[in-house]
Each structure stands twice: as C-alpha cells, then as structure tokens.
Chain A
Amino acid sequence: MNLHEYQARTLLKAAGIAMFEGDVASTPPEAEAIARRIGGTVVIKAQVHAGGRGKAGGVKLARNPAEAADEAAQILGMTIKGLTVHKVLVVPAAEIATESYVGLIMDRETQRPVFMVSSAGGVDIEEVAAKTPEKIVRLPVDPTYGLFAHQALSLAFVLYRDFAQVKAAAKMIEQLYRAFIDNGASLAEINPLVTTPDGRVLALDAKIVIDDNELFWRPDLGLLRDDSAEEPSEAAARRANLSFIKLDGDVGCVVNGAGLAMATMDLVKYYGGEPANFLDIGGSSSPEKVINALKIITADPHVKAILFNIFGGITRTDDVANGIVAATRQFKVSVPIVIRLTGTNEAEAIRILNEVGMPALSDMDEAVQRVVQLAKEGA
C-alpha cells in the first residue's frame, strides 16, 4: 500500500525525524491558511500516487497566501497519470545548501532491509545509480539485531563531513529504521535529505510503502488507505477480496491465480486481442466472488467479451460454475462469456453450466481464440 507524501511525513515525524513544517489541504482556502501560518514563499505539492508530479504541473511555488490559494485551485482536481488530485501539501520553499538520498528497502536478494545512501540526492538519484553506482553506499541490516549505532554513524559519514551534521543524520537514519520496522514498511525513503544554509539537517520529501500483508493485524495502518487515489473499480475489487488491475482493452478476464491470470492476458494479446483487465479471484472461490468479479468487469463499457479461465486445484470449478449461473440470474450480462474450466470437480461444473445452456471449454488456447474473436465481432 502506497502512502501519500503527507501521510509518510506524519509517520516519520512521529518517529522523531526532523522535517520542515507543513500541512495538507483539500481546498484552496485551507491551502491559503497554511501558507499564512508558514509565512513567506511556499511550495504546493499534489498528493497523488504517481512519479513525475513536477513535470506534470503538480508542484508550484506561491509567494504569498493569495497565490497559494490560486495555485491550490489549479492543482486540486487536476489529473496526473490518470489519477485525480484531491489533496495538496503546503510546505515552505526552503533554502537548501545540499541534497542527499537516504532509502531503506526490503531486498529480495539479501532477504534483509537494506539501506542505500548517497550524497548525490534529489530527483536524479536513479541516474546516479545507473551511471555512478559507486556513489551509492549500501548496507544490509540483520533484522534480528536491528541497526547498530556504528552502522548508522558510518552511513551518516557517507553524507556529511561536519560532525554535528553527521550526528544529526545518524540519528535520523536510526529513526528511519525504527519507522520502517514499526510500520511494517517495505520501503521508506527520504529524498532529498537536505542541509540548510544555517547547517540544519532536515527531511524534505518522504515516501513510504506498507507491506499489504501487515494490514491484517494493523488496522490502524489500513485507515491510511486513500480509496479516492485508486481507480474506482480497483478499490471495489479490493473490498471484494479480488486482485484486479484495470487495463485499456476489450476482453474481460476472470482467472484463478496471479501467474495464470498474467499468462491469460499474454495469450489474449498473442491471439490479437487486448485484455481489459487483470483479475485473480484467488484460491478458494465462493460463488459470491465470481458474482463480484462479473459485476466489476461488466461495469467497464469497453468490455466486449468475457473469458473465464479456471484451473481447479484448491479452487473448485463447480463453485465457479455456480457463481456464473447465479450472477447471470442476478443481473443481465449483455456481452458474450467464454468459459474454460478444468481440474477439481470439472464434470459437475460442466453439468451445472450445460443445464442453463452455457457451453464450457477445457483448452485454454481454444477459449482465448474464441473470446478474442467474439470481442472483435462485438466491437
């Protein structure tokens, strides 16, 4: 789960990390009030789960409160990479002496949280990583022991020469590790970590991604989820316990298992079609899940045909068949449905479908070719 910058700021602040003041606004008058409180020139930043906000016009300077209101009015409601901006962060336009990078990520390779720090911070950090990887220092942390004081200090020495700044940065690095662990994060990043002309060390921008598997017993973190920052159909799918990603094509796909769902999309494309979505109904499938899946897919007016691709293992294919029958009774599905199912309780599933006059295929390639054909005819 991605957090907004303002939410990440709240978590890092709670961990004691020194940051510039600032606050979040949903309306131009709110932005104006925050700018007045801060005083001087401020930056208005769109809060949206997309990179490249600045280039898209989602980050603007405002010299006074009235300008802050104007700029906020411009940014609020704008669309960046398909996502509507509902909130802006208002922070002071700080004078900056240096910019560094401090990131902490759960690394697959070392299977540990790994710190990455560089004195070459800012937006171009990926370019630094690609061109001069030696400028980025990495440190894996054994989570059994946590981050040792000398490790934090050695990372801070990578960033600064002035010992007061080194000590300040080491403290922040320890606080960042604490925030990462305490919030079940898979990524926590301060970019840039800045020094001011008067020598203070402060976090200017922050990003945090929470491990979705933590949310089960961390309902407090779940509350940070911003449904409005998601594609509405994706939010609806998540509430129905379905894993769903909306795409631009016209072939709706309902599949069990993420790997098979991706392979199904690939095959749709292989046979000349365009998938309308990725949808994984998961392992144990109740008829209800199938009904919800069909509701979400048929809500997309671009969908011209729907493919069910079910390989029954834990998933019982008769459950899926019952779901399809129940759904088509509950609401009218106006586009053709192609059903491919094989595996657990296949014979029973085919009987259930045939009873209501629905044919079922057992071969994946045949089913995909048919649904692509039907989508083309319906277009």
Chain B
Amino acid sequence: MSIFADAATRLLIQGITGREGSFHARQMLEYGTNVVAGVTPGKGGQTFEGKVPIFNTVADAVGDTGANATVIYVPPMGAAAAVIEAADAGIPLVVCITEGIPVLHMSRTMPFVRGRGVRLIGPNCPGLITPGTRTKIGIIPGNICTAGRVGLVSRSGTLTYEVVNHLTRNGIGQSTCVGIGGDPIIGTDFIDCLAAFQDDPETDAIVMIGEIGGTDEQNAAAFVKEKVSKPVVGFIAGQTAPKGRRMGHAGAIISGSSGTAEEKLAAFEAAGIGIMRRPVDVVALLQKKTARKSAKSAH
C-alpha cells in the first residue's frame, strides 16, 4: 500500500507535448508509471512516441481510457483552467506541477475543486512517487527512491531529493514521497498527508520537511500530537534566513505569527516530533525513533 498513488493509478498527462511535459512523460514511462493518455488541445488523434494516445480534452481522455489521475505541465497562464477542466471531467486526483500561477487564480479554483471532491496536489510542487508499485506522478527523480515503509511529505523540491537520497543510501525505503508545493494556496497540506500516512498500514514512520513562513507546520505539529501514533521526524529549512523587510501589518495580524523557524521547531518539539538539524540527521533519527517504537511494542 501507499498513499494517493499506487498500482491502480491510470495517469493522464495534461500538456504532454510541451517542453516540460514531454520530457517528464518519458521519465514517468521509463520509471514504469501506467500512463494511459495525454491531452494537448488541437493534437487529438496523435500519439506520444507511438505509445500514449493524445486527446483534445480531458473529458475525451477520461471517456476513452478511464484515466483516474492527472498531472499538469501546462504553463502558468492556463494552469488553473487545466485544474478546473480535470476536476470537471471527474478525475479524483489532480497533481499540478506548474510554477508561477497567480494566487488569485488558485483562490478562485479551490472552491470548485473542493466542490467536486477532488484531491489536488500542488501547484508548484514536484508531485509524488510510490516506489513499491513504480508509480511516479510528477518530477521526483525515480532513481533516488527505493521501496520501503517510510512516508515523506515536503513543501520543497530539491531539498526533498536530498533527504530521500540519504534515506535510500542508508537502506531506508519509502512507501510514498509527496511534495505538496510551496505556494500560498495549495490543494493538499501537511495534515492531509499525515492523516493518510497514519491510516496507511504499509507506512511505519513519517518524515516531514517544512520551511519558514505561514503556520502550516505549526498546525501539522498540533495534528501529530493528537492524531498520529507513528513516529514523525521533521526539518525546517530557513533557520538562518534573515527577517524580511516587512510591509504592512495584515500578514502578521492574519496568522498571529511571523512563521519563523524557531516557532515551528518549538511546535515540533511540543508534539514529540524528532527534529533534524541537518538533512543527513534523518537517518539516525528514524533509526532511533523506530528502535524505540519496536522496543515499546515488544514489551
């Protein structure tokens, strides 16, 4: 098992003929992902590299191929519209890789997506990967992952790869790695992923990688304290970042917080989350946490 992506995933790629889309389509196919269709308006009827049928619309693609997940590589101007098209066609899992979507577009998109009961991951995220079933939706390099029982959720991209790489090199495999994206408005947050990992019988421990800014990590820490029985270790990037030159008061008022690393680490501490001071610490912390856990259950 795993979360969100598995052997049953039938993937559609929106923007499959574009520069980014075609490059990553090849990578996903090579990794073993079940890519069943692509969408590029105007290129319906063609095939991508002789393997994947291309459709003009998402509805056509779903009707013909039974796609049940989609990944979006559409440029920022049309990306929110692509998310809406996918949700409107009834696809339950939408992963949006695109970076640079205006936040107002996402603010208008989210009520529609939620109204259709769709899970959106991203935007501005690396997507997700389940190594056990060779299912990759997005851009996380497949070669740094290996199958196992640690779930990983992260707000960043390359920092995720850094941590996964340490895990794999030390023989710690992953159930699913999810990059939720760093934009102000995202479809799936830490808590959604923590809840899914908690419920996943094939995930034994969770790694959480956050960043400075906002209150998502603090909320997630409170959730861990209440609802997560599996061991969790966490990292906050930006511990040494300078305090930005602030404009206006609304940001501080709305969150009641300035989103500093200290605040987030204190929340982690209070929730019993193991704190990684460096990315490499993930290995020793997980080993310690899971050893303690198995010692407890042996008694």
- Give the interface of A toward B (CB within 8 A): 2, 49-51, 81, 83, 101, 103-109, 111-114, 116, 125-126, 129-130, 133, 136, 138, 142-144, 181, 184, 186-187, 189, 191, 207, 209, 211, 213-214, 216-217, 245, 247, 255-260, 262-263, 265-270, 275, 278, 283, 311-315, 342-344, 364-365
Contact = CB atoms under 8 A, between A and B. Distances in A.
B110 interface: yes
B81 interface: no
B27 to A, nearest CB: 10
Contacts of A83: 245
Contacts of A313: 126, 139-141, 157-158, 161
Interface of A, secondary structure class, is mixed
Contact of B249 (A133, A189, A263): A189
B253 A111 contact: no
Q: Which 7 A-B pairs have the closest CB atoms?
A: A259-B156, A257-B158, A259-B159, A103-B250, A262-B237, A105-B250, A262-B238
Interface of B: 20, 23, 76-77, 99-104, 106-108, 110-112, 126, 139-141, 144, 154-162, 165, 182, 184-185, 209, 211-212, 214-216, 235, 237-242, 245-256, 277-280
B253 A129 contact: yes
B103 A311 contact: no
A175 B266 CA distance: 41
Contact of B141 (A104, A216, A269, A343): A343
A143 B104 contact: yes
A106 B159 contact: no
Contact of A105 (B23, B185, B254): B254
B162 A263 contact: yes
Nearest to B156: A259
B126 to A, nearest CB: 7
Given A213-B101, A217-B77, A364-B279, A266 B237 contact: yes
B240 A311 contact: no
Contacts of B184: 106, 108, 186
9 contacts: A105-B254, A108-B185, A109-B255, A129-B249, A136-B253, A184-B104, A211-B103, A247-B242, A262-B238
B278 A365 contact: yes
